[in-house]
Amino acid sequence: MTPPPLIHCQALAKRFDTTGPAVLGPLSLTVAPGEFVSILGPSGCGKSTLLRLVSGLLAPSEGTLRVADRPPGELDDLAYVFQDATLLPWLRVAANVETLLRLRRVSTAERTRRRDAALGLVRLTEKARAYPRQLSGGQRMRVSLARALALEPRVLLLDEPFGALDEMTRDHLGEELLAIHARQAWTALFVTHSVAEAVFLSTRILVLAPHPGRIAHDLAVDLPYPRNHETRRAPDYLRLVADVSARLRAVEPAEDFAA
Amino acid sequence: MSSRLLRRLPPFVLAALFLAGWQALHHSLPPGRRFLFPSLPQLGEAFQVHGPALLGAAGHTALASLGGFALAALVAAGASLLLASSTLVRQALYPYLMGLQMVPVIIVAPILILWVGPGAPSVIIVTFLITFFPLVVNTTQGLLSVEQAHLDLFRMGRAARWQELLLLRAPAALPYFFTGLRIAAILAPIGALTADYLVGSTSGGRSGLGITALLFSARNEIPGLYATAVVGCALGFVLVSAVSGLAWLALHRWHDSYSAEQIER
């Protein structure tokens, strides 16, 4: 028997202007627990909007959306990793990791335990007392990830979290993220612009088409685990990257290439 | 000479040049008008003769400016939290805040004397009126200048309004608050001195620098007036330095204005 879906949307649509066209949807999507779903698509296809809807930051205009069989925004174990690290500059790394737990009034002992565990997962235990400005861009992103993981989430939403980093750092963080995913059971929705990153990380890739945002392709990625730097040279991996790239190119609006 | 010593030198050279220039200016005046700009020895003599009186008066003015300043900082912090809480509150209260700053002290002075009488309380109230506005404006601006991404983070974390205000907006506003404090620190001694001039106590031993200046002026003691001005300036410097020290303590670890590159430059 297949497990019940963790994220379930039916004819979900979002319009920012009540009379205007929908920026996203209507689309239907079901995500099972433990899946790592990447969302690819040209700019303006509503990738981030979809993530914000699932997070509860935005309310849907039409359709239904349930996360763990509840309306989004009611879930305590849903975490969001933003495009920027969005660390609070006046707090040390340790306190930054605890921020969301503090908001939820988690007890001090429990906070400390989860904070130390999360910092261990992103291998930044020795930076606990540093301030964000003393860290590199990659380290800041790892702290941001630790802050999300400290919630011990069931659903992890990642909005281009490695977009601003250089390729090496990006690859390393991707591998770390997979290693953490192997140890923890969260379900990921991962928005990215990088086909290679999507293929490397995911069990499943959604390619969105714009105007309005809708799912053009829903592809399973059946590369074996554990995935590491070897994976990036495997023929199957390269074939998938080429295939997804071609599909992505096909949904890009032509005018983007006119110039 | 070590390069480090060399780098410390310019301020001292400038100070020496300043004093030499002062002296030269005195001597460049026609002898009949030199009394208008006392020489350094004359100034030194004024300090010797009036030293104790000046020190006592400076103490009173210092206490009054500190009192008005601290009161303004406290009330401004509270008022800013209120103002930042809603646009409606802000729009409704802003004209009154501006009014507070626009009331001419010279008109308030006689009213204050009628209400609370001349002396320290009146001086503190005037100092408060003068320093309050830059504090409240800066702090409110700070509370409102929070990054959207941080607000999203707090909304995702389902933060209560008070959590957003105290854990996010208040720390983010600290640099703005200190900018306000610096401006207020410059205004406070000037305010207290002016206030003393207008509403200060004239009874012996309780007057500040304003009344002292008034007495020197009445007795035509020009070097004494200059000495009073110097003491007033010194008071301002002390208060501004103290605020800068506090700002450093609160911000240097995390705020970009104290980053390593800034110090290098």
Residue A255 above 60 pLDDT?
Answer: no
Q: In which domain, by residue range, is A142 found?
A: 87-152
Q: Which two tokens stand for residue A162?
A: 């490695």
Mean pLDDT within A165-169: 87
The reply to whether A252 touches chain B by the CB within 8 Å rule is: no
* Main-chain dihedrals φ then ψ at residue B57, nearest 5 degrees: -65, -40
> Is B22 part of a structural domain of the chain?
no
Contacts of B150 in chain A (CB under 8 A): 86, 88
Contacts of B171 in chain A (CB under 8 A): 88, 90
Spatial separation of the C-alpha atoms in residues B34 and B136, rounded to whole Å: 45
Single out the residue in A152, A178, A202 at which a domain terminates.
A152
Among the partner residues A57, A90, A133, nearest to B156 by beta-carbon distance? A57
Query: Would you say how long chain B is, in residues?
Result: 265
- What is the band of A21 on the pLDDT scale with cuts at 50, 70, 90? confident
> Is A35 part of a structural domain of the chain?
yes
Q: In which domain, by residue range, is B74 found?
A: 48-264
Instruction: Please report which residue ranges of B119-169 form alpha helices under DSSP H.
Output: 120-144, 148-156, 161-163
State whether A57 and A140 are in the same domain.
no
> Is B32 part of a structural domain of the chain?
no
> Is B173 part of a structural domain of the chain?
yes
Distinct helix (H) and strand (E) counts, chain B: 11, 0
Q: Which two tokens stand for residue A168?
A: 């090496």
Query: Average pLDDT over chain A, rounded to whole?
Result: 89
pLDDT tens per residue across span B208-227: 999 999 999 999 999 999 99
pLDDT tens per residue across span B124-135: 999 999 999 999
> Is A118 part of a structural domain of the chain?
yes
The reply to whether A57 touches chain B by the CB within 8 Å rule is: yes
Mean pLDDT within B143-168: 91
Indicate the pairing of strand A24-31 with strand A7-14.
antiparallel
Indicate the pairing of strand A187-191 with strand A36-40.
parallel
State whether A135 and A198 are in the same domain.
no
State whether A138 and A177 are in the same domain.
no
State whether A162 and A236 are in the same domain.
yes
Based on C-alpha coordinates, what's the Rg of chain B?
23
Interchain proximity B157–A88, CB inside 8 Å: no
Interchain proximity B254–A90, CB inside 8 Å: yes
Count of structural domains, chain B: 1
Contacts of A49 in chain B (CB under 8 A): none
Query: Average pLDDT over chain B, rounded to whole?
Result: 89
pLDDT tens per residue across span A69-127: 888 878 878 899 998 899 999 999 999 999 999 998 899 999 999 999 999 988 899 99
For residue A205, the distance in angstroms to the closest alpha carbon of chain B comes to 25
Written in H, E and C, the secondary structure of B26-40 is HHHCCHHHHHHCCCH
State whether A134 and A191 are in the same domain.
no
> Is A11 part of a structural domain of the chain?
no
CATH of the domain at B216: 1.10.3720.10
* Main-chain dihedrals φ then ψ at residue A77, nearest 5 degrees: -105, 45
Three-class SS state of A60: coil
Indicate the pairing of strand A187-191 with strand A155-159.
parallel
Count of structural domains, chain A: 2
Cis, bond preceding A226 (omega within 30 deg of 0): yes
The reply to whether A90 touches chain B by the CB within 8 Å rule is: yes
Contacts of B167 in chain A (CB under 8 A): 99, 102-103
Three-class SS state of A130: coil
* Main-chain dihedrals φ then ψ at residue B145, nearest 5 degrees: -90, 65
CB pairs under 8 A between A and B: 53
* Main-chain dihedrals φ then ψ at residue B47, nearest 5 degrees: -65, -40
* Main-chain dihedrals φ then ψ at residue A212, nearest 5 degrees: -85, 165
> Is B16 part of a structural domain of the chain?
no
State whether A180 and A142 are in the same domain.
no
> Is A220 part of a structural domain of the chain?
yes
Spatial separation of the C-alpha atoms in residues A123 and A140, rounded to whole Å: 12
Instruction: Provide the pLDDT for residue B260.
Output: 57
The reply to whether A105 touches chain B by the CB within 8 Å rule is: no
Interchain proximity A99–B174, CB inside 8 Å: no
Interchain proximity A133–B174, CB inside 8 Å: no
Is B143 in contact with B225 (CB distance < 8 Å)?
no
Interchain proximity B149–A55, CB inside 8 Å: no
Contacts of B157 in chain A (CB under 8 A): 99-100, 103-104
Mean pLDDT within B5-33: 90
Is A252 in contact with A208 (CB distance < 8 Å)?
no
What residues in chain B have their Cβ under 8 A from chain A's Cβ atoms?
A: 147, 149-150, 152-159, 163, 167-168, 171-172, 174, 253-256, 259
> Is B231 part of a structural domain of the chain?
yes
Task: Look at residues B200, B188, B167 and name the one whose alpha carbon lies nearest to residue B60.
Answer: B200
- What is the band of A259 on the pLDDT scale with cuts at 50, 70, 90? very low
The reply to whether A89 touches chain B by the CB within 8 Å rule is: yes
End-to-end CA distance of chain A: 52
> Is A131 part of a structural domain of the chain?
yes
Is B227 in contact with B57 (CB distance < 8 Å)?
no
**Which helix (DSSP H) or strand (DSSP E) does residue B188 occupy?**
helix B170-199
> Is B134 part of a structural domain of the chain?
yes
> Is B209 part of a structural domain of the chain?
yes
CATH of the domain at A196: 3.40.50.300
> Is A222 part of a structural domain of the chain?
yes
Q: Which of B145, B147, B153 to mutate to test the interface with A (most CBs of A within 10 A)?
A: B153
Instruction: Provide the pLDDT for residue B234.
Output: 92
